[in-house]
A and B are shown apart, each in its own frame.
Chain A
Amino acid sequence: MKFSLAWLRDFLETDATAEEIAAKLTAIGLEVEALEDPAARLAGFRIARVLTAERHPNADKLQVLTVDSGDGPPLQVVCGAPNARAGLVGVLGLPGAVVPADGFELKQSAIRGVESNGMMCSSRELELGDDHAGIVELPKDARVGMAFADYAGSDPVFDVAVTPNRPDCMGVHGIARDLAAAGLGTLKAKSIESVPGGFPCPTEIRTDDPEGCPAFYGRVIRGVLNGESPAWMQARLKSAGQRPISALVDITNYVMLGWGRPAHAYDLTKLSGAVVARRAKDGEGVTALNGKHYLLDHEMTVISDDAQVHDIAGIMGGEHSGVSETTRDVLLEVAWFDPARIARTGQALALSSDARSRFERGVDPGFVEPGLELLAKLILEICGGEASEIVRAGAPPSGQHTVSYGPALCAQLGGVDVKPPRQREILESLGFTVVESEPRWVVTAPGWRPDIDGPADLVEEIVRIHGLDQVPSTPLPRADGVARPTATPAQALERRLRRAAAARGNVEAVTWSFLPEREAEAFGGGAWSLANPISEDMKVMRPSLLPGLLAAARRNLDRGAASVRLFEIGRRYMAEGERPTLGLVLAGERTPRGWANGKAQTFDAFDAKAECLALLGEAGAPVENLQVMGDSGAEFHPGQSATLRLGPKTVLARFGMLHPRTARAFDLDGPVAVAELFPDALPAKKSGGFARPAYAPPPLQAVTRDFAFLVPETLPAGDLVRAVRASDKANIVAARVFDLFAGMGVPEGQKSLAIEVTLQPGEKSYDEADLRVIAERVVAAASKLGATLRG
């Protein structure tokens, strides 16, 4: 909402400066986003008279002027304007002045070899108008030497961000009322005189949609002359950013911006029959004043005559019946529309307008007839003509509502103790009526404040006018002692996983939650697709964290990164819900080529496995008991990927090499290892205390024994290790593969697996017989898997 100081002063008697007003507006919730003084941009420009004008010696189109700028000797100025001539009084920009139109700072210079000490300016350069054919010509009596800003008149413009709850402040009058309440002046009492009707209204006016349009008031004014509006009105409209169009249009805009009251003027000759507010028929259409055609439906209220729709009620008039320079007779419409209906219609048509933004927030139902009178008065004054009697179809709601209010609430909720008489004063200055009764007051909100809903709203009114800076800062009550831990187990786990992953050299990324459809498809497809994505690249909610990380990996590799270790902790969006996930992508080089170890090495599936086990270990999972199983997914290399499970069903992670087809879909060339962890699948930790199980290191040293087995090629090493470990649980504390071999010396279809078994003696050291028995158990367990001890 933009308006000038002069316009504000039409409504507010005040001595405050523009800066003081701006500060107060912001302090009471009408945030001033900009305070601009068009005149301030004219600093350094002054009124000057051209004394002489000679041809430039070196240029045909230029003249060399001597200019009287009021003080000092005449200045020499080079000028290209055809109208520059001796005796002309115009506007001179001195060196240092900044041209408003282009921000160019004037300097003393030589133009084609002739010194120039400034510039005579055009209207366009000063942003006073569009004229750029010549320099500004001021009346001959304009005082030479006067600052042009003073001559043009300073009228600062406020740009206020009006919050959606304040339709009353979408008019200058409402803003003036708030300022007056805040002590910045006195609201000028402006009674709106009634304009007597000289004849019965010739047009029938009806509302057939009392729900959408409870009140439709109208009158005809005939014999108007729709020329230009007066300069004072144009100046006010321009300050609001409105281009003056014609007197009738300007007057309706002036009333809308001045009083927050939209209205519409129809060219009477374009109407036929009764003018009616009604529901649109499905499929009916109208071409609006913006030149676009809109298809309407039965949820929308329109104004129509016998022939067609002329107005999308409360939003935008129709092109057909709008007023023009030739309009002689007008029908004025001042109506009150249901705000919700306006909002729905505007949303459905994706059509915004100044009228809609006011109607959907709620215009003052008490200002229907005054608005019509005001319009008529202005039209008669400016355009002449004769007004008809008023036709009133329906009646606006009262708009007033009462709130039961205890003044103690101000301190209880607002935290500031404002004395009840002052509270009452504030409310009354804002137009509320207050009846003091015990224990609670009865406060009636004025019709222009549809936002007032309950006592809390009154506290807000009192506190904002009294001053939020008056609210003392009050410490929150605090629990005794040291602050308690607040993180839930899931939150603590997430933090731990994040820092563990980073500690292992992985870099955390945050990628978009949405993916291009094809990337989601590469990972099994997403369950959630947006109706209105920003772009096709951000359409489907991710079913996996890997696509976003793979795309990021590709961008990094494209930028020349040699090694990419990226992880992210976030959600996957599945049909059944959102699941916390850790995704990891390892691409490019695991180790760079080096003087010590030769060629660069790429990542493999075991790198991904190592990360999974390390992270699951940090998360408290029993990593030595996890099973490596299949079903990692079609996105993975079928022979180099697996799931890690706790028991056969609970999948804690999947990892491995990306399927080359998947890698290609993401434009990734080399081998890419990936992993996805599912922290919510981890069983909850049972222990509640801090003490650990009792433990004393065994007195006797552990011993190791090596076993080399020939096993079928297809036997997973993990199965053999598990069998060996389980073969004598009392003695065997660990078993690990230390050699894998196939080929020379190993029969076809078999491989050799060498296992180091760690034995922990208890009370006494092992003797040969003990060790023989344990070895027999190991070999027997292994043989059940088809393993034979290598001779």
Chain B
Amino acid sequence: MKLNLNRRQMLSLAAGGAALAATGAANTVQAQVATKARIVIIGAGAGGTALANRLVARLDGAEITLIDPRVDHLYQPGLSLVAAGLKPANYVVSRTADWLPKGVTLVAEAAAAIDPVAKTVSTASGQSIGYDFLVVAPGLVLDHDAIEGFSLDMVGQNGIGALYAGPQYAAATWKAAQAYTETGGVGLFTRPATEMKCAGAPLKHTFLIEDIARTAGTRGKLDVHYMANNDSLFGVPIVSEKVRMLFGDRGITPEYSHVLKSLDAGAKTATFDTPTGPVTHEYDYIHVIPPQRAPEVIRQSGLNWADKWTDQGWVECDKATLRHLRYDTIWALGDVAGVPKGKTAASVKWQVPVVEDGLVAAIEGRDPTETYNGYTSCPMITRVGRAMLIEFDYNNNLTPSFPGIIAPLEELWISWLMKEVALKATYNAMLRGRA
């Protein structure tokens, strides 16, 4: 067989390939906006870090300050994998400072007060930082004290798990959960009645522990109960129905309107608030997810909603632009935003360009064009090796990224592969402002 390629043709082929590679490598460069604006971002988590990276690329001359005392940056979507023994605790840990761009200032302190009229933020040490524009992205607070009889030092022993509390607690949760998959008994998987970050995580933990026991051949010894906070299993009705069917298949008993109130670690009993009064259940394993609230500084500074989520204190903002409804130089970003959905890293990925556009538009004196539609994504792991790639918006519509290819309500290997391989990478790319 003869090939009709000569040397010159081969060279042009190689050159073509190189040109293609070069085109791909070049990032889209937007014209920088010159400004002297002082921008303060409270919080250097997923939202604050991604926004800082994008603003540095977008603005020329802005003075950008992040305020956050946390030395470690946590890749929180990985916590459910740590709590199922699939990843080590350090899988989720990196350093806050390593993700920040050059040219921004990190004040490693907690924000203690915000004065939206004088436009200043005071830190824990009393330093006062003035701003022209403020982005509030401190994340949320896990209110463990709200569960009577529970404290974090109990996690990992006597059948108590609490994976939200951080990497070491997620690893300790796996210790307790693993023991449960071996010895069996009653497992209670709870979730709080407040808004919460990643409402899929309580379900994932339930599915994973059940699946691990099934694989180990001990499933028959487990009596698994999912304690829903209201009369549904997930905020999006069509997903809730799918989960109900999966629970049916897997022999997981849903208990509706059971909100964990207290536990007695010695007696291994947990008491739940239900519509008919408190109900006490015995357990061999319990997974505790506490109520979640905005940090105290939000409420003390009067940035929260007055008539919504009054026990939780989320920032009062427009759900499409994320701009504060009373102070037009303030935006909310991430978990702290008082919007109906969106307490996930995937939501942050959608929110960051909206806040960025709002800020840049304000600097340029034009109207913003980007809006947030409530996009939230949850790779709902149903087994080790399978997940459902569930994406939805404010209206409870499913918004699949790959319609016709990756079915949102189907348990698929490809969705698991994306969670395993691509999710953390996409998250990291987002932190760097590149995705």
Q: Do A and B come from one complex?
A: no
Chain A positions near chain B (C-beta within 8 angstroms): none
